[in-house]
């Protein structure tokens, strides 16, 4: 994958502009191909990131055994079907089993997977699976709420719709009280 990421594609962007009926050489578009390439490389930089690099040495032995939740993690991604943005918030919780991770590492894990061409369903699962792999906790809960511009700007054109996905692992799946606590904490203070 990395070899393909080094191939320039400005010429293809220029060609697409022409196919859209534009003059790719006019002043306003002359630098658009290089800007589009730079933007797409930035927006998909997650392909060059790994969970272990994101977490580093920030896993600590700790006897804490109650839920840890990082709520309202902003995320931005690109829908793999239309390469249009979707954005929203991720809520990531886990119940440790002797190991915790630095709090900033949960948003970094979200970023690893969000900065790729994605579908929200897979993104939710990838985050949950990564936290399970890194920490081997009693359980993990991930909930993502996002607005998809592929639904808002085209197709059904529904600007106020949100997509909600969840992934639960371990005790979050097997114990209804744990799952309910997670959902209660996610929605605490959110008037929606």
Residues 164-185: tens digit of each pLDDT:
999 999 999 999 999 999 999 9
Q: Which residues are catalytic?
A: 79-82, 120, 148, 150
Domains in the chain, CATH or no CATH each: 2-43 (no CATH), 57-187 (3.30.1130.10)
Question: Quick one: tokens of 157?
Answer: 């054109």
| Model pTM score | 0.93
| C-alpha separations of 118 from 4, 122, 166, 177 in Å | 18, 7, 15, 31
Q: How many Cβ atoms from other residues are within 10 Å of residue 21's Cβ? A: 6
Instruction: Give the pLDDT confidence of 12-37 residue by residue, as tens digits.
Output: 999 999 999 999 999 999 999 999 99
């Amino acid at each position: 994958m990395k070899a393909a990421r080094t191939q320039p594609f400005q010429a293809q962007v220029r060609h697409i502009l022409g196919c859209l009926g534009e003059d790719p050489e006019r002043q306003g578009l002359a630098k658009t191909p290089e800007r589009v390439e730079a933007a797409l490389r930035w927006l998909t930089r997650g392909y060059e990131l790994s969970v272990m690099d994101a977490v580093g040495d920030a896993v600590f032995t700790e006897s804490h055994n109650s839920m840890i939740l990082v709520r309202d993690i902003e995320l931005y991604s690109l829908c793999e079907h239309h390469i249009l943005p979707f954005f929203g918030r991720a809520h990531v919780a886990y119940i440790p089993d002797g190991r915790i991770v630095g709090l900033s590492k949960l948003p970094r894990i979200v970023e690893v997977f969000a900065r790729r061409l994605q579908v929200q369903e897979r993104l939710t699962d990838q985050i949950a699976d990564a936290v399970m792999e890194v920490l081997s906790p009693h359980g993990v809960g991930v909930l993502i709420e996002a607005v998809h511009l592929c639904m808002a700007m085209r197709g059904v054109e529904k600007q106020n719709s949100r997509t909600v996905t969840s992934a639960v692992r371990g005790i979050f799946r097997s114990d209804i009280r744990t799952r309910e606590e997670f959902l209660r904490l996610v929605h605490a203070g959110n008037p929606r």
